[in-house]
Amino acid sequence: MAGKRIVLDVLRGETVFPPPLWMMRQAGRYLPEYRETRKRAGTFLDLCYNPEYAVEVTLQPIERFGFDASILFSDILVVPHALGRALAFEEGRGPVLTPITAAEINDLGTDAFHVNLAPVYETVRTLRKKLPDETTLIGFCGAPWTVATYMIAGHGTPDQAPARLFAYREPAAFARLLKILADQSAAYLVRQIEAGADAVQIFDSWSGVLDEACFEAFCIQPVAEIVRQVKAAYPNVPVIGFPKGAGFNYERYRERTGVQGLGLDWTVPLSAARELQRGGAVQGNLDPLRLVAGGKALSDGVKSILDTLGQGPLVFNLGHGITPETSVPHVEAMVKLVRSGGHG
């Protein structure tokens, strides 16, 4: 299948076996070559905004493992950063932002948004030239709800209580924030597609902490608006949605957002995943700790997914991002298992 981007075929509903595969966070700290580039780059944000380094780390897992898709190396929080919010990444703590107040939401600066993100677009353009022709290039953004949780709390929290309270106490301001984030994120994805992305993914890492009504208002509606705007510009570009922890809301999410690919976390039972697959392509959903463990835990997990989901449109992936402690030989073993249909 030289030159054929099979991830795109699967996202459009075709069944390919063995399925194509890639990993969320596949460019990252588990790779020694990434750690070397990260040292040279300086800060994490320097790495995200330097096209030379960002291209280098994006290509590293493709060169090492030959994955069928490459995802842009960046971070979901470049969007609030491009809107004028202070952002830093602290070792051992992660992202730190200046918490936004209700009064500050209308002051978010959209005028320089694309100028601030120009290095990201340059990275995408360069990647499409350097990647093998058959490798699908995936752009991405964070979903408005997940991005908003960091903007409001100023950092990650266990259950996103600050953002949930903000939404209850300041509903109009919160709705305005989600609208701004949806519109700007859609424009961001459109620019990535213009630069060469073949598909885009929307990460909603914190969708699992919401009740039914809030899931509809904060997760489904903003993502549906992003999909609408992206499809208006590029109707043939697949959009993958990953609402981690959505549980019983997964089916409703797919139906109401219009995403073509549905990313599943590792807690989704494979029987439920098979039902969701009837509505289109699914992506996932190996527990990342099976990859850390290796051996029988890994082979059993891969085989179960392939046996249950291999007869429909499937992009094999983890059920969340690869963890830094994962060993490279275990990734090599996983790739071999998937490529052999679970019998490697």
Positions marked catalytic: 25, 29, 38, 75, 150
Distance between CA atoms of 40 and 25, rounded to whole angstroms?
Answer: 20
Closest CA to 245 of 152, 168, 146: 146
Q: Kindly give the pairing relationship between strand 94-97 and strand 136-142.
A: unpaired
254 vs 240: CA distance, rounded Å: 10
Backbone angles phi, psi at 313, to 5 degrees: -70, 110
Fill in the amino acid letter for 334: M
Residue pair 143/203 in contact (Cβ under 8 Å)? The answer is yes
What is the token pair recorded at 237?
Answer: 């570009």
Q: What is the dihedral of CA 174, 177, 179, 182, to 10 degrees?
A: -120
Distance CA 99, CA 221 (A): 24
The secondary structure element, H or E, covering residue 88 is: strand 87-90
Q: Which residues contact 236 (CB under 8 A, 6 or more apart)?
A: none
* Pairing mode, strands 261-263 and 239-243: parallel
Q: Are 222 and 215 contacting, i.e. CB atoms less than 8 angstroms apart?
A: no
